[in-house]
Structure 1
């Protein structure tokens, strides 16, 4: 586990404790993708004995938001970020360990460069796919991120 992953997971403990205590963890992050996992347990289940939708949303959002934070940090600029919209689709009961993968890192740099150049806010959609241990898709979540220079 690289130091960037450790820093993000410590960030969860201090700034998003509900995600941390539900077991949401970043496993990998690089320029193009972020992988987040969460395991179905008693503390994060719904009455139907599967992973509660809000926990899935926390993990999926983190897989997109960690990439946005990474690019903002690397820009060296004071840029705010906010989820403006989200869409979710649940296709299978989420049990066991669920892995959320966002492969949309390439979308962020262009938006950051535009917001720096124009000083106007930018929005862009990022997708996170949740899969179970068998590789079956359990959910798909899209987040519209809004960024602007402070």
Structure 2
């Protein structure tokens, strides 16, 4: 029997391979997934780094996208609801060069639950900012390398 985390990683890999190949190419791994928090790791490898040997800007955006979106997809799926998910805006602060594997952490599970409750109840699109923090724990502990605000947009899909 597969653990919930193993199932989530398998789903993420298949989703990346079939739906968004750039996600698959970045090879994200879900390290933690609970009601409040998701933590995604993207390794710093030849295909994810830039000419300065730090994580490429586009890969940082992929990590933020996966951390912000996977929790919402997972929560909707666990409720048995079809939800349309998109990001409407992004704001990023790049604080320090991420020169190692990067962990993307989102603690907005309660906010996403409230968004899902609202769209399921009203059928209307709901937009809220979710915060994602990027860290390099092996090199810099919990010091943020980058911080993102992504405007998550959710809408219940009519059956």
Normalised to the residue count of structure 2, the TM-score between the two structures is: 0.87
| Cα 1:24–1:5 shift into 2, 3 Å | closer
CA contact (8 A) 2:40 2:63 kept: yes
1:51 aligns with 2:58: no
1:64 aligns with 2:71: no
Query: Of 39, 42, 47, which aligns to 1:38?
Result: 42
1:63-108 Cα offsets, whole Å, 9 max, x none, are 1101010111122222211101111000111111111111111111
Q: How many residues align?
A: 150
CA contact (8 A) 2:64 2:148 kept: yes
1:23 aligns with 2:30: no
1:96 aligns with 2:100: yes
Query: Of 151, 154, 158, which aligns to 1:144?
Result: 151
1:120 aligns with 2:124: yes
CA contact (8 A) 2:8 2:30 kept: no
CA RMSD of aligned residues (A): 1.5
Query: Of 8, 32, 35, which aligns to 1:4?
Result: 8
Long gaps (5+) in structure 1: none
CA contact (8 A) 1:45 1:51 kept: yes
Long gaps (5+) in structure 2: none
Query: C-alpha displacement at 1:14, in angstroms?
Result: 2.4
| Equivalent position SS for 2:73 | helix
| Equivalent position SS for 2:152 | strand
